[in-house]
Structure 1
Amino acid sequence: MIVRCAYLEGRVEAANLARFDDFIAREIVPVMKRFPGVRSVRVMRALSVEDDGPLLHMTFESVYDSVEAMNHAFGFPVRQELKARMKEILPLFTGRLFHITQELIADEPA
């Protein structure tokens, strides 16, 4: 399994936090779920950062069967739609957006 992660490193002002989170949940997550072949999507907002780690405000995860499946999905118009929708809310965010593609090594219930 492949996990495509997008990270928002930076911050959203407290006054805009509810609006930002609501937009992500109501507008972004449904678009993420429309990518062909996506198995699951998750979005998490950091509560705390330890040990001088980067100030990651939010993490987005999309799971695919393979890199090929992910790349195939990225060829569909939904990717451009997602980018356009993110541009609508990113003015409330100060920082950078970056991506990491990871291979899932273990995913076990406790």
Structure 2
Amino acid sequence: MLTRTAIYEGTIRDGREEEFFRRVREELEPLWRRFPGVTAVRVQRMQARDEDARPIAMILEMDFPDQATIDACLASPIRPESHAATVEVMKLFDGRFYHLVGAATVLAPAA
């Protein structure tokens, strides 16, 4: 399994946080859930951070079975629709977003 992660680095404009996350829920999440081949979608709204951490407002994670499925997803007609909607929501945000793809190893807690 691979996870494509979008990091939303920056800050939501003053007084617009609830509007930003409402629009994420109502406008973006339905599109993200429609991406072909996606097996899970997680949206993380940051609750706390280390004092010296970069300002991250949100992290989006999408799981896919393999790179070929990610490539097909990125070529799908939903991607430009999702990107256009994201650009509109980002008008409430000062910063940038970027993507990473990773393969996780899940470790059980030590006994």
Superposition TM-score, scaled by structure 1 size: 0.92
* Cα RMSD after superposing both structures: 1.5
Amino acid at match of 1:50: D
Report the counterpart of residue 19 of structure 1 in structure 2.
19
Shift of 1:13: 2.5
Report the counterpart of residue 47 of structure 1 in structure 2.
47
1:1-110 superposed matches below 5 A: 1-106=1-106
How many equivalent residue pairs?
109
Amino acid at match of 2:9: E
Cα pair distance change 1:76/1:107, threshold 3 Å: farther
Q: Report the identity percentage.
A: 28
Gaps of 5+ in 1: none
Shift of 1:108: 5.9
Compare 42-51 and 54-63 and name the one that shifted more: 42-51
Amino acid at match of 1:59: I
For residues 8-56 of structure 1, give each alpha carbon's deviation from its aligned partner in whole angstroms, at most 9, with x where no partner exists: 1110134101110000011101100111110010111111111512111
What SS is found at the alignment partner of 1:7?
strand
What SS is found at the alignment partner of 2:102?
strand
Output the CA distance in 1 between the equivalents of 2:105 and 2:70: 17
Amino acid at match of 1:35: F
What SS is found at the alignment partner of 1:104?
coil
Q: Which 4+ runs in 1 deviate beyond 2 A?
A: none
Cα pair distance change 1:107/1:44, threshold 3 Å: farther
What SS is found at the alignment partner of 1:15?
coil
Gaps of 5+ in 2: none
Amino acid at match of 1:33: R
